[in-house]
Amino acid sequence: MTKKIAVLSGDGIGPEIIGEALRLLHAVAEKHALQIETEEALVGGIAYDETGHPLPPETLALCKASDAVLLGAVGGPKWDNVQPASLRPEVGALLPLRKELGLFANLRPVTLFPALADASSLKNELIKDGLDILVVRELTGGIYFGQPKERTSERAVDTCVYTRPEIERIARVGFEAAQKRGKRLCSVDKANVLETSRLWREVVMKIALDYPDVELSHLLVDNCAMQLVKNPSQFDVIVTENMFGDILSDEAAMLTGSLGMLPSASLGATSGTGAKTAFGLYEPIHGSAPDIAGKGVANPLATFLSVALLLRYSLDAEAAAQTIEAAVGKVLESGLRTGDIASPGQRTVGSREMSDAVLQAL
């Protein structure tokens, strides 16, 4: 059966990295005899410029009719002051996409390729045994979505809300991910202060009874932030709420040397049910990088690794996913670098040359 993939290039370097990613996707599909079709649509600032809205109805309809979504990046200085604020690309496109598509589980693998050990912000002795962490972030609850939200000239209110079902479903995603990895799950909260965190911990401990093969631990978010830079190898899977996950996953990303190396998957309703595949939106976490847009120097590897996640979680094509990850590793071992992951004095290449090398490594 042919799988349909909605392609949303977006703004900034989005069109460049997605263009290279589509070359890779079709090459891998041919190599592994996968039947796929892709269809592109507007999203973000460019969509606002052309249609008056960063998430046009036809784009949302395409996403809902697809098996997966591949996203580049949205936003940039050009649209920072759009009024009303609800029409800014990050607010008017990303948040509604997550809500309308039911994308509640954000998975961010934090993997340090051995060839990039010198680019990590950590000392070599802390990462000598490698680094392989999966951050599972709840994506549709918490302070980003809680009501009421209010602001006057003297006062502002953001409300943090979580319900038992919301915590249960993200906890199951975390436990099931841990079962397929090192069977260790660390739940991160702020249970010493917040009522939402006390409910979070209570629910996670109850769900743990269904996964006796997974070792569960708990950390307060401030301690977790410290432990990530003190002893990152202690972690296997981290599960946490929306805002904590937003902060911790970016911190963890820098342990790998560059945001340009980190993919992400945002999964929908079938996640946490033991199903083989889930609808998902896949994107690099580095943003639109408008300062380098159009220069052909953007690192495409985070997007390539996002394609691997798409193959793994939405197409049940594990062998194809591993092919991409192995090819990226091989190219890095060869010494090829884009500017963001290069050591001082090291020769760098652009997006196309890096892409060509990965395609050849397939």
Catalytic residue among 49, 118, 210, 222: 222
What six digits make up the tokens of 222?
């401030």
As a whole number of angstroms, the distance between CA 147 and CA 356 comes to 48
As a whole number of angstroms, the distance between CA 64 and CA 303 comes to 21
246 classed as catalytic: yes
As a whole number of angstroms, the distance between CA 223 and CA 304 comes to 32
Catalytic residue among 250, 316, 330, 356: 250
Decide the pairing of beta strands 131-138 and 3-10.
unpaired
Catalytic residue among 144, 183, 316, 356: 144
As a whole number of angstroms, the distance between CA 290 and CA 238 comes to 31
190 classed as catalytic: yes
118 classed as catalytic: no
As a whole number of angstroms, the distance between CA 68 and CA 191 comes to 35
Following DSSP, what letter does each residue of 23-37 receive, concatenated?
HHHHHHHHHTT--EE
Decide the pairing of beta strands 237-240 and 131-138.
parallel
Catalytic residue among 11, 190, 313, 340: 190
211 classed as catalytic: no
As a whole number of angstroms, the distance between CA 86 and CA 91 comes to 6
As a whole number of angstroms, the distance between CA 312 and CA 261 comes to 18
Q: How many alpha carbons lie under 13 Å from residue 254 in its C-beta half-sphere?
A: 10
Q: How many alpha carbons lie under 13 Å from residue 26 in its C-beta half-sphere?
A: 9
Q: Are 167 and 199 in contact (CB under 8 A)?
A: yes
Q: Where are the alpha helices (DSSP H) in 267-317?
A: 301-313
Catalytic residue among 246, 282, 313, 340: 246
282 classed as catalytic: no
Return the active site residues.
144, 190, 222, 246, 250
